[in-house]
Amino acid sequence: MIGLLTSNFSLYHDLVNLLKKRNIPFVSLSFDEEIPPYVNVIITSEEEKHKVDFDKIVACDIDWNAEDAIDKALFFSHCKNPKLIFGIDPGKKIGVAVYGQDTLIRRFATNSPDEAVSFIKSFTHNMEACDVVVRIGNGARLIRNRIINLLHGENFRIEIVDESALPPHDDDAIAASSIAMAEGREIKGKMELEPKEGEIKEMQRFSRIKSKNITISKELAKRVLIGKMELEEAIEMQRKKNQA
């Protein structure tokens, strides 16, 4: 159980709103009362932490991020060992799930490999975790490989999981949870990023749908597929070329 112990009203308000939004049970505490035995982690402010006599404390400084504080509290609350497991469902929308051991901390969908990887690196740093496993589904080959390559060089164990053995989900974040909890094949090197003909044609088809009438060139499609530019930028470049 998470305990909130702070006289900082703004911090308390932000924390309560997020805890309720995420359906996470918590209890509000007072400095004048003893901490109940069922509380196993406390969130307080940096200024007040010296007043809290407890072994597991998450202290928020003046530039606090309430979402990060709650994640850290969940991690400390349920995990005896500082191990993080990330599940990634690659695709046009990228599902991301985070577990501390077997306890779900957070799951969501993001728009790009860079956003997913930035979150993983930042989250790992904030949690001070030294044992990190990243499991990624074997679909969406180029997006999957871009994520793996962006994670290359980090002290993470990276595994590719066979999604055909998992129950299908329309929700990317839930699919990422299934991937996180499955065993995968470890990957140690970088992955190929050369687009195949079918992938190029699919990106060109998608450019027509996105723009309503413009088909980007094969070269532009390749650059989008390997993450060198955004599709919107490629469409605009093609539009200008067509008008020239």
Residue 166 DSSP one-character state: S
Beta carbons of 162 and 183 less than 8 angstroms apart: no
Which CATH number belongs to the domain containing residue 174 in this structure? 3.30.420.140
Total tally of structural domains belonging to the chain: 3
> pLDDT per position in the chain (244 positions), as tens?
999 999 999 999 999 999 999 999 999 999 999 999 999 999 999 999 999 989 889 998 777 778 888 988 988 886 666 689 999 999 989 999 999 877 899 999 999 999 999 999 999 988 877 789 999 999 899 999 999 999 998 999 999 999 998 988 889 999 999 999 999 999 999 998 899 999 999 999 999 999 999 999 999 999 999 988 999 999 999 999 998 7
Residue 192 placed within a domain: no
Q: Which residue has the tokens 């940096």?
A: 46
Query: Can you give the pTM of this predicted structure?
Result: 0.80
Contact assessment for residue 183 and residue 158, using Cβ atoms and an 8 Å cutoff: no
What is the total residue count of the chain? 244
- Containing domain of residue 215, as a range? 197-243
Q: How far apart are CA 202 and CA 199, in angstroms?
A: 5
Residues 45 and 128 placed together within one structural domain of the fold: no
* Residue that finishes a domain, picked among 61, 78, 95: 78
Whether residue 93 is found in the same domain as residue 183: yes
Q: Is residue 62 part of a domain?
A: yes
